Amino acid sequence: MNLDEGLQAFVTEAGELLAEMEAGLLNLGDPLAREESINAIFRAAHTIKGTAGLFALDYIVLFTHAAESVLEEVRNGALPLDDELVALLLKCADQIGALVRDVERGGRGDLREQCSPQLEALHAYLAPSSGTVESPSLPALGTARDDAASGNWLVSLEFGRDVFRHGMDPASFIAYLGRLGRIIALATVDDGLPPPGEMDPESCYLGFELVLETSADEEEISKIFEFLHGECTLRLLPPGSGNEEYQRLADALPLHGAAIAEVLKVSGLGQVAPPALPSPSAPLRADPAVGGVTSRQTDSRTIRVDAERLGQLITLVGELIIASARTQMIGNRFKDTDLHDSTSALADLVEQVRDSALQLRMVKIGATFNRFQRVVHDVAREIGKDIRLVLGGEEVELDKTLVERIGDPLTHLVRNAIDHGIEPAEVRRQRGKPPYGTVTLNAFHDSGSVVIEVSDDGGGLQRDRIIACAIERGLLDPEHKPSDSEVFALTFEPGFSTAGQVTNLSGRGVGMDVVKRNIEALRGSITIDSEAGCGTTVRVRLPLTLAIMDCMLVTVGASRFAIPLGTIEECVEYERDGQRDFVDLRGEVLPTASLRELFRLRSSAPRRESVLVVRHAGQRAGLVVDSLQGQCQAVIKPLSPVFSGISCLSGSTVLGSGDVALILDIPALLKQLQARSAGNLAA
């Protein structure tokens, strides 16, 4: 067994369980879900304790045991669950997470001393109301309980073939089972071993029969094996079972019959006749009705894949797309129908492979949104506000890289909304609002992008104050009459703030320049809408993926450009008439930009050109190009530093011919057109 793989599995599993534990603690405010949340929190803590014990991480076991004991009192109704206890349990979950991360880094419990304050607080809750806790030491695992009599359980275990591959050691589970009591008889089942030449050294062929003397019940015994997730078949016969029950189990498990007879004889529980072993070709069928716990072996529907491997796959798929495009281009030179059909079929398959590969990296944004339950809880508690968080669009999927990197900017926006967006309860009552504030996180698809909105129902941005601060800092001409979008965009200037008092949490505008820079690094954009007295909405627009996208390939002279397909509405013919910067599109004035003039290309324009109508965030414009070359799959490559000063390019891609096409940054281009139009109007 690879112990490192086993520990990594524990770290991953513990992280998921801690997330469930935190979500349950934050969901306790819902009366309808309160009981189930408490049970889910308890199960998560119990499972972490059990799996930590398998790796002898006793300091995690003991600390989690204290939290579990408090949760048990809550489940039994002996301890009320108030806000202070919820806050303590959240801190305990954080501490367990820190201990688990220490294990991942190779530490040996150096952080255990940090657990003392939480341990003392937990024991204070466990102390009788009339007494005190003499010592913060915890009861040892497996200590017999005075209020329950011990009995002899027959435990039948059959481990799955992939246990070793998942980094598990069956002997560790047997050793941990002994902590619940005393193993008085044990026999190994090895009659099902294949011939030596057919054995797989990475497969597990082990089974065990044992008699356990313990005061634990069926649930406590079975929970030890929860970490195996269906890789173990467990059957239990409780104390007081007779020879008839033992014989039925032996008959149902022919390979285990001899081992069952042996442990029953050693322990003095009974005597059974081992059944005849089946022939090697006969299929084994176990009776699921035998024993107290039925088998839960099911085919796993998910596997964990290292993120680096996924990245390598996406890179290879990108190269495959380029090679496929080149193959198709060469095939088109020949007037061979079979070759043309073959290259077309290849292109279709490559497109399907691309979509499937990209789908592997797509994750639902709901997991990221749920993390903000904790952010809202902690910030609201710190500043003394009552805040409700409303989530929407959790099913929207986004590239895993984007989801990971958008967390910090969203955290800043949510904290801003709570600290400076939501008014104090007294002010809200005076304005006819409910005393509690509402922060909304929502996500949806729009024009081939994902839009994430952070909204609050607070007082909104103070437009006049922003203008005054901007004039004072020299950011705005006193004679200029800016639009709302221009005014709100000033909050992204470095160090800009209108807050009368800057807190340690946030300041509306303070740090917003960093938020904008981080989002633009993801090829995204950010805008603000606000209405005085009603609230503020910050919209973050992101691409679906950073790796591959569908584009329309266009030419201007000898240059080629790729335009993201999701931003294109339509294409119309264009006949140049003077130097106009607009066209009449079915009675609507549409501003245009000539790519030849924008990039100062030295070539003559043809008599008839084409206009691509593009749209982004509600803005529309026409891009004048020489000709359309059709759709292509653009494998996005970073730009050379030579192009760092050009704001309208987001990347490049290699075409099947080996030529390079530049990918247009449509949001930046539309922004530049808008600024040009505003300048013309001012002139």
Q: With bands split at pLDDT 50, 70 and 90, how would you rate the model's confidence at 280? A: very low
Cα–Cα distance for residue pair 174/157, rounded to 1 Å: 10
Reported as a single tens digit per residue, the pLDDT across 41-64 is 888 888 888 778 767 787 788 788
The 10 Å Cβ neighbour count of residue 360 is: 13
Q: Which CATH number fits domain 307-361: 1.20.1280, 1.10.287, 2.40.128, 2.30.30?
A: 1.10.287
Structure tokens at 463: 């437009």
Q: Which fold has domain 151-267?
A: Alpha-Beta Plaits (3.30.70)
Element (DSSP H or E) covering residue 31: none
Would the pLDDT of 388 be above 70? yes
Q: Which fold has domain 363-543?
A: Heat Shock Protein 90 (3.30.565)
Q: With bands split at pLDDT 50, 70 and 90, how would you rate the model's confidence at 422? A: very high
Q: Is 305 helix (H, G, I), strand (E, B) or coil?
A: coil
User: Which residues have a Cβ under 8 Å from the Cβ of 174 and sit 6 or more positions away?
Assistant: 157, 183, 186, 208, 210
Residue count of the chain: 683
Q: Which fold has domain 548-682?
A: SH3 type barrels. (2.30.30)
Find out whether 583 and 592 touch, Cβ atoms under 8 Å.
yes
Residue 297: what pLDDT?
A: 40
Residue 453: what pLDDT?
A: 95
In our burial notation (b when 16+ CB lie closer than 10 A, e otherwise), range 61-91 reads bbbbbbbbbbbeebeeeebebeeebbebbbe
Q: With bands split at pLDDT 50, 70 and 90, how would you rate the model's confidence at 509? A: very low
Would the pLDDT of 179 be above 70? yes
The 10 Å Cβ neighbour count of residue 542 is: 24
Find out whether 441 and 482 touch, Cβ atoms under 8 Å.
no
pLDDT (mean) for 380-386:
89
Q: Which long-range contacts (CB under 8 A, 24 or more apart) does 293-298 make?
A: 293/218, 293/222, 293/234, 293/235, 293/236, 294/235, 295/233, 295/234, 295/235, 296/230, 297/160, 297/230, 297/231, 297/233, 298/230
pLDDT (mean) for 200-223:
86
In our burial notation (b when 16+ CB lie closer than 10 A, e otherwise), range 235-251 reads bbbeeebeeebbbbbbb
User: Which residues have a Cβ under 8 Å from the Cβ of 77 and sit 6 or more positions away?
Assistant: none
Residue 286: what pLDDT?
A: 39
Find out whether 382 and 476 touch, Cβ atoms under 8 Å.
no
Q: With bands split at pLDDT 50, 70 and 90, how would you rate the model's confidence at 166? A: low
Distance of CA 502 to the CA centre of its chain: 32
**SS3 of the chain: helix, strand, coil, percent, to 5:** 45, 20, 35
Cα–Cα distance for residue pair 369/442, rounded to 1 Å: 9
Reported as a single tens digit per residue, the pLDDT across 320-361 is 888 888 888 888 888 888 888 898 899 889 888 988 888 888
Residue 635: what pLDDT?
A: 85
pLDDT (mean) for 457-466:
89
Q: Which fold has domain 3-126?
A: Four Helix Bundle (Hemerythrin (Met), subunit A) (1.20.120)
Asked if 3-126 and 363-543 have one fold, the answer is no
Annotated domain spans of the chain: 3-126, 151-267, 307-361, 363-543, 548-682
Find out whether 28 and 89 touch, Cβ atoms under 8 Å.
no
Element (DSSP H or E) covering residue 619: strand 619-625
- What is the sign, positive or negative, of the torsion defined by CA atoms of 361, 365, 366, 371? positive
Q: Regarding predicted confidence, which is higher, 642 or 211?
A: 211
The 10 Å Cβ neighbour count of residue 14 is: 26
Q: With bands split at pLDDT 50, 70 and 90, how would you rate the model's confidence at 677? A: low
Would the pLDDT of 394 be above 50? yes
Reported as a single tens digit per residue, the pLDDT across 605-661 is 888 889 999 987 778 899 999 999 988 888 888 777 777 667 788 888 888 778 889
